[in-house]
Each structure stands twice: as C-alpha cells, then as structure tokens.
RNA sequence: UGGGGGCUCGUCUAACGGUAGGACAACGGACUCUGGAUCCGUUUGUGAAGGUUCGAAUCCUUCGCCCCCGGCCA
C-alpha cells in the first residue's frame, strides 16, 4: 500500500496501517507457515496471497516457515512440493526459508525457563486421563495430581524426557495456567510430547520430545520478528494462550489476526477429504485436473494470474462463506481470453462435404491467432472439400433459435466461406454421417463478402487434421456444498460420476501438432484447453480448463426446461 | 448451562453517523466472421424488535440464527 491516501481494502490491512501509525511496529513482516504433510490447495493460495501480498504492499517481507513439529505426519517430499507451488503462484521468500525444527533448542530452553518460574510441569497422566480431566465445554477441568511437583523434580523429569528415558505417551510437559478457564486452550495445555519414531525428516533422531503447535508457533513468530501473524478463524481462541507464553517469556510480541478460510462451491478443501478422493480412486492423483490442489489447477490449465485475481476478488473478512466456483472460472476465462492463442479443433466430428469444391484442391486461409491481441499474428489453415465440423453445429430438424447448419440454411465457416447445406447422408441406423453443402466462392474471408449469415462455425480440413485426445472436466461434486450431508451419509455420495469425459479421436488443425506440454489455447467456440503431460509423440492430450460462456447452451437448456 | 467469533443483493465483498456501492451470477439490449470478447441497461440486500439521533448497515438494548473449541494434530 502506498503510504498516502490509498485506503486499505480489508480489515487486516487497516489494522496493520494503524499499528504502523501508532508505532506498535515500525516494519511489517508476515509468514506463511505450512505443515509439510500434504499438497497445497486453492485455500492455501488465499493464505499465501494474503501473507505475501500484504508484506509486499507494506514494503516488508514474508517468511516461509515449515511447521514441522510432528514427525509422524511430515515429510521432505511435501516440503519440495510446497515450495514449487508457492513459486509457481509467483511468490518469493528469498533466503528466508525457515523450519520450526530450527528452533527446537531455543524452545527447549524456554520450556526450562517456564518450569523454573513454576509455570510448567511434567504430567505423568495417560492420554486418557488427560482427556478425562480436561472437563467439558460447560464444566471446568480437574487439576492433575502432578501439577504441584517441585521445580527440581520437573527439571529433572523434563531433562530425562529429552534424553529418551521414557516411552512415548508416558509423560508430557504442560503449562500451568487455569484448569477452570472457559477457554479450553488455557486448561494446562500440553507443550511437549514424547515421540520416538519415526525420526524427524530434518532433525533425525536428535529429539524424542516434540513441541506442540501451540507451544511452537507463537515463539517461532517471535524469534523471526513477525509483526503480523495472519491465520484462520479457528485459532482465535488460541490467541490468549499464545499471548500468555509470550508474556511469561518476556519476548517480542507479534500480533495475530484471524480471517476466514476459503470455501468453494462444488468441491472440498480439507486435506482429509482430498486424501480420500485420491486414496479411494475418485481421482487419479493429487494433480488430477479435477482436484482443487494447486497442482491440479495447474495441470487443468489455470494460470497463477487467474488464481491471484480470484483471491484478490473474493476479499478478506471474518465471515464464514462459500465462494461460487463460477467466480474462479470467470477469472481464468478473463486471463486466458487475453493471452491464449486461438486454434480450431473439432471434438465430436461430423464429416462435411462441399460438393462444388474441386476434388483434391487445398487452399490456405489466414486465421487470427488472437483477436484480443493483434500482435499475436496469424496462421494459415488448410481448407479443402472434406472437412470436419462439430456434431452440435448441425441439426437435421433445428429447434427454434438455432442458427447453425441445417438443410437449406447457410453458415460461415470461420475464416473461409459461406456454405449452404443441401442434403445429408445417413447410415443404416439412420444416423447422419455426412452433411453435404455447396459453397459460395465469392464469400472468402477478407474479400469483403457483402452477405451476412447468422452463425459462424469452426471446422478442420479432414486430410490435414491431427487426431488428438481431449479430456473434458466437469465439477467434481453434484451439490454446491458436498459437506451438507444427511445423517449417516458421506460427501462421496455426491461425487459427479461424469466429472471426466475422454474423447478420441478429436480433430485438431495442423498448427496444434507441435504444441508442448502446458501450452494453453482457446479452441474457438469451445473453451480453453491445455496440453496434458500424458501427451506422447503419437497422441497429444488436451485438458479442457473451462468452457467459453455459451449463450446457446443457455437458450437450449431453458427451452428444455420449459418443454 | 462455558468460552470465542460472525450475520449487507443468489454468491463474495464495500460503507467507519450523511444518497447501501462493486465483482460474479441472472435478465434485457447493442455489436460481432467465436451464440466468444466488448459495450449499455435492469432486477435483487442491511437477521428481528426496540431505543439514541435531524439522520442508523454503522451507536445502545433485547432476541434469533450460523460457525469454532473438550488431539500427546496443525
């Protein structure tokens, strides 16, 4: 945010501005703190854009810090994947790549300090006892019989915990706060637990006691001089605990500000559920183009810019909300419309024969690469007597308002000629297998044809067409909120069985033959597509990122609804 | 029956005691060699009731509804 008059666009930026004005902080530093136990999804993108975006706007910096306090769940594989995804989104943490495990020694020392102050104790109760004595939402907890051990005994026990003298789960270190607090987080929360294996992905077997997130996070922020620790709503009532630790330790105090996490319609965004989709085979992997993971979106053809625009547009607030996935789609259309090269491809081919066009003749017509961007230039497209057109672009008996091809009607073949349908050829089952036309040689594109027709359709020349595979994706779920389930039901009940449709052969214009993995195109009148890594030299595979807005589909479905 | 949050068009989100605005969606129109893009226009909203005030989405009171918290997860 440029100092002067520009007003903050949300309550977080407002608060930061106020902190700077009041002198509470003289600089801004944030952090993005993922746990390396899974892949990043669009919900994380919101946090990333907020953490990195805000730091940038205030001339500060954003640290990347892996919250790796639980070796039973974490792995370096995820560390690499997370870094890759953040970079892809377009953010850079410079040299500031940190790990909670970097601070284990300091955290240990601070724990000792709290023990010495009589503010922490070793508890020998079992996990079950701990849970039983924590009380309930409405009843206070019961103080542990070990709560008033001497400082000396606590010190000795804690040291022996670190040395590995006790089995996992046998003891914990707890903060001594208030077992009757209405805030359950303050009922003597666990600071350390014993975990002997697996070894930690970075510290190996050096430690067998690991700090709980609640004990680690605030102090890590403090060590790094984080001024604004931005997190999601569920940490709101942990804040008093973090503040208690910081106060008892007398160390630098960051300010935590909570915001609502992202929910998106027609999908799920919890690691647990995403994992089930993968494990139970509903999708092909974490990077399946139907997944809301950043890898999935990337493979689907989403651009970092589209995602950042989306995050910017949904804003930041504390209201629990579900954002219409249509907004994400609108953002990617907006970006791709400006940048994607136009190409022609026919997904469901129907042969079109131009009876009055010379046999064996091939001419080249010039096609715009991007009408939105003249500098993108043009390309030649072969045109000949036998073409493929989209099955959807022909009806033997047209419904009302249907402008496309039907017997007796004229349409323009994009960048080529106006053709008129004369008759059709059917197979034994009565299916139309060939549409026959005549063309008007005076209507070639660019030659100032006076006549206008209602519709222009896309096509490819059959002899030069490249057969390709196209994968059409639809929403993963049938319900806007798949989590909204009846008693005993499961979100998997609402998975869209038709979320993937594979088409082959589709016919692409020759210019597409050399496309590279990841390249994005608009297939005219159909949507945006990108080349999937499954592509081989023999068979290109295209993913449909998103359809174009389709006015006709709307009309057609409305007529169907009223019929 | 405890503690912490939140309620503004269909969906997100602005407003900071002074004309409820924007985006997406929807609807209508213009334009168009993509039924695309673009442009124009229209509809729809302050959870409820009281109070304070010249004036309330905003301040106060009461009520309602929604979300989070009882891991040795984060």
**DSSP string of A158-170?**
HHHHHHT-S-TTS
**Which residue is closest to B8 in terms of CA–C1' distance?**
A319
Q: Is the pLDDT of residue A268 over 50?
A: yes
Q: How far is A544 from A473, CA to CA, in rounded Å? A: 6
Q: Is the pLDDT of residue A482 over 60?
A: yes
Find, among A434, A410, A431, A515, the residue nearest to A469 by Cα: A515
Could you tell me what percent of chain A has a pLDDT over 70?
98
Distances in Å between the alpha carbon of A411 and those of A394, A414, A439?
10, 9, 10
Report the pLDDT value the prediction gives residue A313, as an integer from 0 to 100: 97
Could you tell me what percent of chain A has a pLDDT over 90?
94
Q: Is the pLDDT of residue A298 over 90?
A: yes
pTM of the predicted structure, to 2 decimals:
0.96
Residue A135 gets the label, from left (phi > 0), alpha (psi -120 to 50) or beta, of left
Joined tokens for residue A296: 């999935």
Q: Which nucleotide is nearest to A553 (CA to C1')?
A: B35
CA of A549 to C1' of B42 (A): 21
Q: Is the pLDDT of residue A351 over 90?
A: yes
pLDDT category, A3, cuts 50, 70, 90?
very low
HSE, side-chain direction, 13 A CA sphere, residue A278 = 17
Q: What is the mean pLDDT of residues A469-497?
A: 91
pLDDT category, A16, cuts 50, 70, 90?
very high
Spatial contact of A389 and A350, defined as CB atoms under 8 Å apart: yes
CA of A470 to C1' of B12 (A): 33
If you average pLDDT over every residue of chain A, what do you get?
Answer: 96
CA of A551 to C1' of B41 (A): 19
CA of A560 to C1' of B5 (A): 45
**Which residue is closest to B38 in terms of CA–C1' distance?**
A372
Joined tokens for residue A543: 């993913």
**Which residue is closest to B7 in terms of CA–C1' distance?**
A319
pLDDT category, A1, cuts 50, 70, 90?
very low
Q: What is the mean pLDDT of residues A129-147?
A: 97
Q: Is the pLDDT of residue A322 over 60?
A: yes
Report the pLDDT value the prediction gives residue A560, as an integer from 0 to 100: 82
Report the pLDDT value the prediction gives residue A483, as an integer from 0 to 100: 87
Q: Let me know how many helices (H) and strands (E) chain A has, helices first.
A: 13, 25
What is the per-residue burial (b if ≥16 Cβ within 10 Å, else e) of A127-154? Answer: eeebeebbeeeeeebeebebeebeeeeb
Q: What is the mean pLDDT of residues A124-146?
A: 97
Find, among A500, A519, A548, A511, the residue nearest to A303 by Cα: A519
Q: Which nucleotide is nearest to A189 (CA to C1')?
A: B72
Distances in Å between the alpha carbon of A242 and those of A64, A175, A191, A233, A234?
20, 12, 12, 15, 14
Summarize pLDDT for A45-96 with one digit per residue, the tens. Answer: 999 999 999 999 999 999 999 999 999 999 999 999 999 999 999 999 999 9
Nucleotides of strand B within 7 Å of the protein's CB atoms: 1-8, 10-16, 22-27, 33-38, 66-74
Q: Which nucleotide is nearest to A100 (CA to C1')?
A: B74
**Which residue is closest to B25 in terms of CA–C1' distance?**
A326
Residue A117 appears among annotated catalytic residues? no
HSE, side-chain direction, 13 A CA sphere, residue A553 = 7
pLDDT category, A449, cuts 50, 70, 90?
low
Lowest mean pLDDT: which of A214-228, A351-365, A439-453, A500-514? Answer: A439-453
**Which residue is closest to B69 in terms of CA–C1' distance?**
A184
CA pseudo-torsion sign A191, A193, A198, A204? positive
Summarize pLDDT for A155-172 with one digit per residue, the tens. Answer: 999 999 999 999 999 999
CA of A260 to C1' of B22 (A): 21
Spatial contact of A273 and A491, defined as CB atoms under 8 Å apart: yes
Only one residue has tokens 């975990």, namely A195
pLDDT category, A384, cuts 50, 70, 90?
very high
Kind of pairing, strands A410-413 and A349-354? unpaired
CA of A340 to C1' of B60 (A): 56
Neighbours of A243 (CB within 10 A): 15
**Where would I find the H helices in A3-120?**
11-22, 42-57, 76-89, 104-116
Report the pLDDT value the prediction gives residue A447, as an integer from 0 to 100: 79
Name the helix (H) or strand (E) containing A429: none
Q: Which nucleotide is nearest to A555 (CA to C1')?
A: B35
Backbone angles phi, psi at A342, to 5 degrees: -85, 140
Q: Is the pLDDT of residue A152 over 80?
A: yes
Q: Which nucleotide is nearest to A548 (CA to C1')?
A: B36
Q: How far is A435 from A355, CA to CA, in rounded Å? A: 10
Q: Is the pLDDT of residue A5 over 60?
A: no
Question: A424 CB contacts (<8 Å, ≥6 apart)?
Answer: A396, A407, A432, A434, A435, A436
Distances in Å between the alpha carbon of A341 and those of A44, A378, A470?
30, 10, 17
Q: What is the mean pLDDT of residues A267-294?
A: 96
Q: What is the mean pLDDT of residues A317-335?
A: 97
Residue A271 appears among annotated catalytic residues? yes
Joined tokens for residue A520: 């994005």
Q: Indicate the Cα dihedral angle A18, A19, A20, A24, nearest 10°.
A: 150
- Tell me the residue length of chain A: 563
Spatial contact of A403 and A418, defined as CB atoms under 8 Å apart: no
CA angle A235, A237, A239 (to 5 degrees): 75
- Catalytic residue selected from A261, A348, A351, A420: A261
Q: What is the mean pLDDT of residues A271-278?
A: 94
| Cα A191 to chain centroid, rounded | 33
pLDDT category, A4, cuts 50, 70, 90?
very low
- Catalytic residue selected from A119, A147, A271, A273: A271
Q: How far is A380 from A364, CA to CA, in rounded Å? A: 6
Report the pLDDT value the prediction gives residue A448, as an integer from 0 to 100: 67
Q: How far is A389 from A469, CA to CA, in rounded Å? A: 16
Q: How far is A88 from A81, CA to CA, in rounded Å? A: 10
């Amino acid at each position: 945010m440029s100092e002067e008059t520009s007003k903050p666009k949300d309550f977080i930026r407002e608060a930061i501005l106020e902190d700077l004005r009041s002198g509470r902080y003289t600089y801004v530093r944030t952090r993005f703190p993922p746990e390396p136990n899974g892949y990043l999804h669009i919900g994380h993108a919101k946090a990333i854009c907020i953490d990195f975006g805000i730091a940038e706007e205030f001339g500060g910096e954003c640290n990347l810090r892996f919250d790796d306090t639980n070796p039973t769940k974490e792995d370096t594989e995820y560390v690499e994947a997370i870094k890759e995804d953040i970079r892809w989104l377009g953010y850079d943490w410079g040299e500031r790549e940190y790990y909670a495990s970097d601070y284990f020694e300091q955290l240990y020392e601070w724990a000792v300090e709290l023990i010495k102050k009589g503010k922490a104790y070793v508890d020998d109760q079992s996990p079950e006892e701990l849970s039983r004595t924590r009380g309930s939402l409405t009843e206070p907890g019961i103080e542990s019989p070990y709560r008033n051990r001497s400082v000396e005994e606590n010190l000795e026990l804690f040291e022996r915990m670190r040395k590995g003298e006790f089995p996992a789960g046998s003891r914990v270190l707890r903060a001594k706060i208030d077992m009757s607090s209405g805030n359950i987080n303050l009922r003597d929360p666990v600071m350390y637990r014993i975990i002997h294996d697996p070894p930690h992905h970075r510290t190996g077997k050096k430690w067998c006691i690991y700090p709980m997130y609640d004990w680690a996070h605030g102090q890590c922020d403090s060590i790094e001089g984080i001024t604004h620790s931005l997190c999601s709503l569920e940490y709101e009532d942990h804040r008093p605990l973090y503040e208690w630790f910081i106060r008892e330790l007398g160390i630098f105090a960051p300010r935590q500000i909570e915001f609502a996490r992202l929910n998106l319609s027609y999908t799920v965004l919890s690691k647990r559920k995403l994992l089930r989709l993968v494990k139970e085979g509903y999708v092909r992997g974490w990077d399946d183009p139907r997944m809301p993971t950043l890898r999935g979106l990337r493979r689907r053809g989403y651009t970092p810019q589209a995602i950042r625009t989306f995050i910017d547009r949904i804003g930041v607030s504390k209201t629990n909300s579900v954002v219409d996935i249509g907004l994400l789609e609108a953002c990617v259309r907006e970006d791709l419309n400006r940048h994607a090269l136009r190409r022609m491809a026919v997904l469901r081919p129907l042969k079109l024969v131009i009876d009055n066009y010379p046999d064996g003749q091939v001419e080249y017509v010039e096609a715009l690469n991007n009408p939105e961007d003249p500098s993108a230039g043009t390309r030649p497209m072969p045109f000949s007597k036998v073409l493929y057109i989209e099955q959807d672009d022909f009806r033997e008996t047209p419904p009302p308002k249907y402008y496309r091809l039907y017997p007796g009607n004229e349409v323009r073949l994009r960048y080529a000629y106006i053709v008129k349908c004369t008759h059709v050829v059917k197979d034994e089952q009565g299916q139309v297998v060939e549409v026959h036309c005549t063309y008007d040689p005076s209507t070639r594109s660019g030659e100032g044809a006076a006549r206008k027709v209602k519709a222009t359709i896309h096509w490819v020349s059959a002899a030069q067409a490249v057969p390709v595979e196209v994968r059409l994706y639809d929403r993963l779920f049938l319900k806007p909120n798949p989590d909204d389930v009846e008693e005993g039901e499961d979100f998997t009940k609402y998975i869209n069985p038709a979320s993937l449709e594979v088409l082959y052969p589709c016919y692409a214009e020759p210019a597409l033959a050399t496309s590279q993995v990841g390249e994005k195109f608009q297939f005219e009148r159909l949507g945006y597509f990108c080349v999937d890594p499954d592509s081989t030299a023999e068979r290109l595979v295209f993913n449909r990122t998103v359809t174009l807005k389709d006015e006709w589909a709307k009309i057609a479905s409305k007529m169907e609804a009223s019929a």
